[in-house]
Structure 1
Amino acid sequence: MLTRLHRLAANPLVLWAAFLALHVWLGYDGLTHPNQPFGDVTSVYKGWVEQSLDGYRLGIDGPWVYPILAFVPMLAAMALGPGLYGIGWMIVVGIANAAIFAYLTTRRRAGHGAAARPLETGERLRLAAAWWWLLFLLLLGPVAVGRIDIVTVDIVIAGLLVARNRPVLAGVLLAIATWVKVWPAAMIAAVVITLRRRMRAAVAAAVTLVAVLAVALALGAGLNAFSFVSEQTGRGMQVEAPASVFWLWSAYAGGSSEVYYDMEILTFQVTGPGSDVAAMLMTPLLVVAVAAVLLFAVYVVRKGAPATHVLPPLALALVMALIVFNKVGSPQFMVWLSAPIILGVVTQGRRFFWPAVLAFVMAGLTQVIYPVAYDAILGLDPVMLAVLTLRNLLSITMLVIAVAMLWQSRRGSGKADQHARGVFGGTVGRGLPRG
């Protein structure tokens, strides 16, 4: 029975049918849900593209909230015209996701009888990661594909998976992702710290970052090329951010805190005693948290832990630090988890079982929070405030787990190999993707 299930799970027709069905559902749900989880796509992104096509190039002729390359997928989604922009967006996202899915599910050794032979260790791990990803996206819901974040996630997944064997390509990919949205910059640091051929990755990333900047400057961007930094500095505490739960519960208890809509940022935020100070401190705290994780990783690497064991928990710890200490806390941030967990499943198997399961719970709770019951949260419904609080506590738990895994990595490959056997199959280092 299990053998039949394994064969069914590895069947290309089954895999791609599930992939297509998932993306059709996410697109349909995103475009028809009453809370408009694709609102950023069909209103904001489309409006930005139309504005730029009319002659005012965002990020070049004026400031913009995103790095310059974020405009590329937004523009590509206009291929079907403004009336079908949402569908065009899903096509762009579907193509990007399909490239990663194909990488994970394609049999590595072609030839006569390849389809009939048993799956090797690395193939089983990649297949497990592919199915995990589909279920994770389903649990997270339409917001997983209804923001620019999914494009960065695809590029980061590719960069992390090829990092060990193709550091130059990894550096280029992660730098490109950073010019779409800033968070992948932390992944560049993770790769540089853990790889033996770190200078290749560092130089490739630096050259790519500078090359994109040079193109933007040549187009006349000037300081607008860096406007995505200044445009975010005035944000307050967004409702979904982990630290915001204090003001939400205060508002529910009848205190002087309240939820309000910021017309400039176009998002719901909290205000109350100390909220302005918290908003001012969160970014420095985030920087300190990321720096602390990176310094801890340097210590672990110097203890002799191999990159194969350090990079996945380090990437996960960095992603969670960026989420836990973020004053924004948008629901789409959860899709960032895809990159380190897919890398962990592919390279470490069973060791990433609990992070992978915890990510399922966090994704499901996030979809309940947005878009399913977002109005209830804004209305300070105590049940939904409890759900939001639980999701944020689990985010902190995931950060603690990632740091603990990073600490365990210092023991060396022998211990980690034992942890890598089990539900996902195989051992670390066997059958790893070679790009």
Structure 2
Amino acid sequence: MTRRARARLLLLWGAFLVVHVVTAALGWVYPSQPMGDVVLVYEPWASAALSGGAVVGVTDTWVYPQLALVPMLAAGLLSTPLVGVLGASTAYLLAWAALMTVLDTVAFATLLGRSPAAPRRAAAWFWTGALLLLGPVGLYRIDAVTVPVVVLAAAWLVSRPALAAALLAVGAWIKIWPGAVLLAAVVAGRARLRMLSAALMVTAGVIATLLLLGAREEVFGFLAEQTGRGLQIEAVAATPFLWMAARGDARIEYSFDILTFQVAAPGADVVAALLTPLMAVVVVGLTVLGLSRARRGASMARLLPPLALALVTALIVTNKVGSPQFQTWLIAPVVLWIVFDRRRAGLPAAMVLGLCLLTWLVYPIGYDALLQAWPLAVVVLSLRNALLIVLLVVAVRAILRAPASRPTPIQE
């Protein structure tokens, strides 16, 4: 490696680490408690499990897949030596930020390697910029754990497809969305049977462990918890109701059951009930479209990245929840796109950076105004949600434009 190349790499690493420190520190400064979930929800869950109390996902039905508890427990164990000096909440926050930084660093190092090519450097800069623009919510949420997991899997999809699939399955047992990337990889990749086998082995192992620990209906309880939710104010489908709230024709209410703000308006419950089946229809439709392109000979490099991004974006657009941390889901598919097909990744990368910035303006910067349905705050959120729909269209268009060779059967 030349001296200039080493300098570029050191600059990239420095920027990545500085952004993590700055982002973690800003969580203590910004309004609207961007670190609230960590200390108000994760820390009590971890403390209860570590002290012999309730174990969410095992003894109690939980909103998350069960492996989400692992990083929460890890942060609890890491914070233990600091509790006497800093207090439980501060110690847990510092441990969480340190844990997220370590996980990101491992994935970042794998993405770059010792002598990274230009596409991998570009992907690394994109990841750094996205985290900076999104702000503390990109670190202080359980979703932050899944980003490095999926980036690691993306780095190994070609060279180690079974391991990549296993990692994606682990990610899906933390938050469901990595399963969309796994689905795209199975559709667009070549080692389909190996990837499916690895993912099924992980899933079987998780379920068997949960059953041995005493879980029964709790194993898939997170699915029931999601279907019973109302329409959260930041969801794409909630946008018209927010404008109704701005005119005084709807209300924004807090749900103490799921700890989030939802819209209360005529038709809101109907829309919320329709979104889950709509999500299933859209995911099936995108999968069929991807299979069609794959059967016509579309290459993995041209098909996998937009298909992964389309599936992940669809999970956000058709979701009854619109939490700001959902934007972290978009980072890994775009990293994958830049690595596989840098020349065509510019537009989706720029759009995701814009989404991160708009989301930061919504939460935490303008969240108090949004809760009061101030028109300017509603405008910003409406722009964010509209851009999500456009991103989905851009990804679908890229799937359709993936060049197809003569029809050939799918091969293992």
Partner of residue 97, structure 1: 104
1:9–1:299 distance in 2 versus 1, CA, 3 Å: farther
The answer to whether residue 64 in structure 2 is matched with residue 66 in structure 1 is yes
Q: Which moved more, 1:302-311 or 1:395-404?
A: 302-311
Distance in 2 separating the partners of 1:290 and 1:10: 40
Partner of residue 57, structure 1: 55
Partner of residue 410, structure 2: none
Match of 2:351 among 352, 358, 381: 358
- Normalising by structure 2, report the TM-score: 0.93
Q: Secondary structure at the match of 1:240?
A: coil
Partner of residue 365, structure 2: 372
Partner of residue 426, structure 1: none
Contact (CA 8 Å) 1:369, 1:388: kept in 2 or not?
yes
Partner of residue 31, structure 2: 34
Partner of residue 181, structure 1: 175
- 2:380 maps to a residue whose letter is V
Cα displacement (A) at 1:158: 1.4
Partner of residue 219, structure 1: 213
Match of 1:128 among 95, 103, 122: 122
- Which string of whole-angstrom CA distances, capped at 9 and with x for unpartnered residues, describes residues 344-397 of structure 1? 101101100011111111110000000001011111111111110011000000
Cα displacement (A) at 1:412: 5.3
Partner of residue 157, structure 2: 163
Q: Which moved more, 1:237-246 or 1:48-57?
A: 48-57
- 2:231 maps to a residue whose letter is M
Match of 2:94 among 81, 87, 94: 87
1:334–1:253 distance in 2 versus 1, CA, 3 Å: same
The answer to whether residue 268 in structure 2 is matched with residue 275 in structure 1 is yes
Partner of residue 228, structure 1: 222
- Which string of whole-angstrom CA distances, capped at 9 and with x for unpartnered residues, describes residues 207-243 of structure 1? 1111111111111112211111111221111010011
Distance in 2 separating the partners of 1:17 and 1:163: 27
The answer to whether residue 382 in structure 2 is matched with residue 389 in structure 1 is yes
Distance in 1 separating the partners of 2:405 and 2:394: 18
Q: Secondary structure at the match of 1:232?
A: helix
Distance in 1 separating the partners of 2:67 and 2:26: 27
Contact (CA 8 Å) 2:111, 2:152: kept in 1 or not?
no
Contact (CA 8 Å) 2:64, 2:175: kept in 1 or not?
yes
- Which string of whole-angstrom CA distances, capped at 9 and with x for unpartnered residues, describes residues 273-310 of structure 1? 10011111111101111111110000111110111211
Distance in 2 separating the partners of 1:225 and 1:276: 27
- Normalising by structure 1, report the TM-score: 0.88
Contact (CA 8 Å) 1:107, 1:123: kept in 2 or not?
no
- 2:17 maps to a residue whose letter is L
Q: Secondary structure at the match of 2:341?
A: helix
Match of 1:330 among 323, 344, 357: 323
- Which string of whole-angstrom CA distances, capped at 9 and with x for unpartnered residues, describes residues 158-206 of structure 1? 1122112211101110111111111112222111111111000001101
Distance in 1 separating the partners of 2:216 and 2:196: 25
- 2:37 maps to a residue whose letter is D
Q: Secondary structure at the match of 1:327?
A: coil
Partner of residue 290, structure 1: 283
Contact (CA 8 Å) 1:241, 1:328: kept in 2 or not?
yes
The answer to whether residue 337 in structure 2 is matched with residue 344 in structure 1 is yes
Partner of residue 249, structure 1: 243
The Cα RMSD (Å) is 1.7
- 1:359 maps to a residue whose letter is V
- 1:330 maps to a residue whose letter is S
Cα displacement (A) at 1:145: 0.9
- 1:289 maps to a residue whose letter is V
Give the gaps of 5 or more residues in structure 2: 81-87, 407-412
Cα displacement (A) at 1:33: 2.2
Contact (CA 8 Å) 1:237, 1:244: kept in 2 or not?
yes
Cα displacement (A) at 1:7: 4.5
Cα displacement (A) at 1:17: 2.1
